[in-house]
Homo-oligomer: A and B are copies of this chain.
Amino acid sequence: MGRGHMARRNTNRRVGIADVAEKAGVSHATVSRVMNGNAAVDPGIAARVRAAAVELKYQPNPVGRSLALGKTDTIGIVVPDLANPTFQAILRGLSIAAAQDGYRVLIADSSEVTSEEAILAGEARRRCDGVVLCAPRMADAELEELAPTLHPLVLINRTTIATNTPSLSVDYGQGIQELAQHLVSLGHRRLVFLSGPEHSASNRQRLVGLDQFRAEHPEIELELLHGGSNFDSGHESTEAIIASGATGILAFNDLVAMGLLSGLHERGIRVPEDISVTGFDDIPFAKYTTPPLTTAAVPINELGSLAWRRMREQIQQAGEASIQAQDEFSPRVEIRKSTAAPALRPAS
């Protein structure tokens, strides 16, 4: 009995707009108006409403708002691995920048499972006003197909052919060339590139950069060793690196370099006296390794905040489809102590 079949629910219910309206003796429309300052409302009434609101500790339900407004004030980010400092930094920069504009970020960790990325991104998009996607291993075709469905979208380290999705990328090809150049100018003649995951887009970029390097430096011996993208894979490559006889090692990234550093240390190989090692990314820890790591610094903190700026641009100009910026960062070689001239030219 009672008026509605759900009347009972109203006990222990969270305070809603209706409660405020009742207390202030106005309609909920008016409450909404004063809360959002949308239309002109009599100052006296407005004051009464506001008083009622604070007294009841009224806080608008964001889900209701979202449904009515068609926006969630939330953006999603999908990353392949939250354990990677690079993605941690992007997430952090994004979160802080977005927060400044009143947006929150929802995170989706694909745990390196490439096949899940598209699904996660889609789900995130439905819950959020936009998505920033880090999917280094997703196939180009899949990305191309997925991108338009995600629309407010910004890509990290990937680009699409269609020019309407902004992307931020790092010129890994140039960075790795500069690192190689650095080693060569120190006197190294035998290098090895300890490569990253096979299907990683950024690894491919490094590879083409190194091809170019080879073309320009035919005198340099540059070997390629397969590895992964984390500590352990760097550590596991220690023996192979030693066996290679190279004096200069280009590790896929800082994590790999650090794993390698620790492996070499265990084996009693001195860095940089016996072998020079470079990383990539300049994660916060890179300058605290022993020896401090020579690496290619990518402006990791800016990436996140710029990602947000690009996202915001899209959200604001909703509709008016325009060509989006494709930002590319040039890494800057950060010479520290893990590289030096090779001690003696080894017999070749």
Q: How far is the CB of A179 from chain B (nearest CB, A)?
A: 21
Contact B284 A261 (CB under 8 A): no
Which among A66, A104, A105, A288 has the greatest number of chain B C-beta atoms within 10 A?
Answer: A288
Counting every copy of the chain, the complex holds: 2
Instruction: Give the complex CA separation of A27 and B122 in angstroms.
Output: 26
A72 at the interface (CB under 8 A from B): yes
Interface residue from B66, B111, B259, B261 paired with A63 (Cβ < 8 Å)? B66
Taking a contact as CB atoms under 8 Å apart, the answer to whether A106 and B67 are in contact is no
Question: Are B62 and A126 interface neighbours, CB within 8 A?
Answer: yes
Interface residues in A249-284 by Cβ distance below 8 A to B read 258-259, 261-262, 265, 284
Known: A288-B231, A289-B288. A109 touches B88 (CB 8 A): no
One of A31-39, A92-100, A165-173, A200-208 contacting the partner: A92-100
Q: How many residues of A contact B (CB 8 A)?
A: 44
B67/A63 in contact, CB under 8 A = yes
| Chain A interface helix/strand/loop/mixed | helix
- Contact present for A122 and B59 (CB under 8 Å): yes
Closest to A92 in B: B82
> Are B109 and A96 neighbours in the complex by a CB distance under 8 Å?
yes
The docked-state distance in angstroms from the alpha carbon of A63 to that of B62 is: 10
A92 with B66: CB separation less than 8 A: no
Residues on A lying within 8 angstroms of B by beta carbon are 59, 61-64, 66-67, 72, 74, 82-83, 88-89, 91-92, 95-96, 99, 104-109, 111, 122-124, 126-127, 231, 258-259, 261-262, 265, 284-285, 287-292
**Top 9 A-B residue pairs of the complex, sorted by shortest distance between their CB atoms:** A290-B290, A82-B92, A63-B66, A262-B288, A62-B127, A63-B67, A285-B285, A258-B288, A95-B109
